[in-house]
Amino acid sequence: MPTPAKRIVLDASALMDFFEDRPGAQTVEALIASAAQGQSELLMSVVNWGEVYYSVHRAQGSATAQKIIAEIAQLPIDLVPATYGLTKQAAEFHAHHKLPYLGCFAAALAAGRQAALATSDKHFARVTSRLRLLWTSNP
């Protein structure tokens, strides 16, 4: 199993950077390549996966959303269920740091797994003392 330094949690913004070819797409592509080569481990909360699905569905329709989730399934990303413990920790992040609630699932997963959090969401600048952040683009 990879060391914690090689364990990375993707939040929805990071994956959206990749799929929409936004600033940060190359960083996420490099993370995916590293995981595909077994050099790192990529994790994502199923809640944040749902956020990607919802965002694409809302903006581009059901067919595109289905295509995106099929593509995500082919990537070396381990989807992590929203357990009681993860949900409680996400709620605590939300209460203490005023982060967007869905993003708190990524933060909680990163904290619980001693992983870096890959994001382009500027809200996470509030928790730089609590989490190791890997900015996919400038916050």
CA angle 119, 122, 126 (to 5 degrees): 100
Instruction: For the chain, state the CA radius of gyration.
Output: 14
Q: Where do the domains of the chain lie, and which CATH numbers do they carry?
A: 4-135 (3.40.50.1010)
pLDDT of residue 117: 97
pLDDT of residue 3: 43
Q: Which residues pair with 134 in a beta bridge?
A: 118
Q: Which residues pair with 44 in a beta bridge?
A: 79
Indicate whether 129 pLDDT > 90. Answer: no
pTM of the model: 0.91
Q: How many CA atoms lie within 13 A of 94 on its CB side?
A: 13
Percentage of residues in the chain with pLDDT exceeding 90? 88
Indicate whether 42 pLDDT > 70. Answer: yes
Please give the Cα distance from 88 to 98 (Å, whole number). 15
Percentage of residues in the chain with pLDDT exceeding 70? 96
Least confident of 3-7, 48-52, 93-97: 3-7
pLDDT of residue 2: 41
pLDDT digits (tens, 9 = 90+) for 58-114: 999 999 999 999 999 999 999 999 999 999 999 999 999 989 999 999 999 999 999
